[in-house]
Structure 1
Amino acid sequence: MTDLSAFPVTRRWPAANPDVLQLYSLATPNGVKVSIALEELGIPYEVHKVTFADNSQKSPEFVSLNPNGRIPAILDPHGPGGKPLGLFESGAILVYLAEKAGKLLPSDPAARYETLAWVFFQMGGVGPMFGQFGHFFKYAADKVANNSYPVERYRDEAKRLLSVLEARLEGRDYLMGDEYSIADIATFPWVRGTDVFYNAREVLELDSFPRVMAWVERCWARPASQKGWAVPA
């Protein structure tokens, strides 16, 4: 049995089975990327809920795994060279898991880099901008009730990013064409989240992006998506 005692995170969240990948997460648009990928790839894992209610993500144990204090993070007992590996940042985790399993990331070098470009598009654009929009539109609406600028700024940027996706999906089922990839897994939870988490379908005029919404439905229809979306419960 793998010894994970060198990782302080296991003191607060003990591993019931230290021989499987340990996931530290919450069911947010950012968190479910990794659980969906794990379900798609069929990699056994054990999940640990890191709640915002008590600032668990800021605890010394969690920060020892992710210095940035954000979910998700993983601890793989069978990392490179057979040694345990702790990893944070959802984009890096998706790339790692895809390469570990040999799926969801093209082996052709040109297609691989193009896929990574769309992963980074989500990491640098869709995630931060949609997140800021959701914060001001829903969670901090009372704080900006007399100032429409924050909501308008991030609403307009979110719609611009949706238009980029709409153009990309012309003639494509997925961001890379016929093949589902980590680029889709990274991005579709954020688009779906604007509706189911932020209740912003009308404000973002989601129905004016028909290719995007059809793509979201294709991604959501996958059993791994629906299972991973609810992890952790």
Structure 2
Amino acid sequence: MGFAALRDPERVRRFGAIARAEYRAVGIHKALSPQADLGSEPRWPRVTATFGSDPKLVSTLVAAYISGFQGATNGLHRDGVATIVKHWVGYGAQPGGFDGHNYYGRVAKLDNRSFAKHVMAFDGAFAARATGVMPTYPIIDGVTLNGRPLEPVGAGFSRQLITDLLRGGERFDGLVLSDWAITDDCPESCRAPTAAAPQQPGAVAMPWGVERSARRRASRRA
């Protein structure tokens, strides 16, 4: 968010280049960043890691970040660090600031006009040829694509968002990398934790929309 306030793409690129050298010096070749999420909900806890709420500014600064990390403006240089831009797409529109990692935040609500702005924020990532994309977690409610409502599943399970829009519409041919635990079960302590039965690390899961599917089926779908 600080970089967004500066509105200086070259400074963001220089930051990425410095971080790239540091990553490579310790043997790290991939970064699970940047966030191209549009920070449209200020109560959202991850808004501070975005480049703000202006899709054009987000797009510009994300492109600069990726160019610095990957070592080139048109893809991954041999001495670069691969970037995984995230989260495709609409994560920043979480109602009330709830987060899609949690059962109570499993649905994000948008309309087609606002959804288009969230997609626009990724333009710079595709122009800079980000190595990979990470799908978002929540179910996107209220949006239609090619005249059809989005299926009520998390983006990692959505053919419409990954195959139709990302691969087809945006012509992205890089890596699609899901986050952890999207095919795990969400038990009672995940859905409704209590002081007596708190959510433990083993109960963290995000199978939104496929909760009742067998794990094998969910894995094939993802």
Query: Please, what TM-score do these two structures have when normalized by structure 2?
Result: 0.29
Q: Which has the higher helix share?
A: 1
More RCO (CA 8 Å, sep 6+) = 1
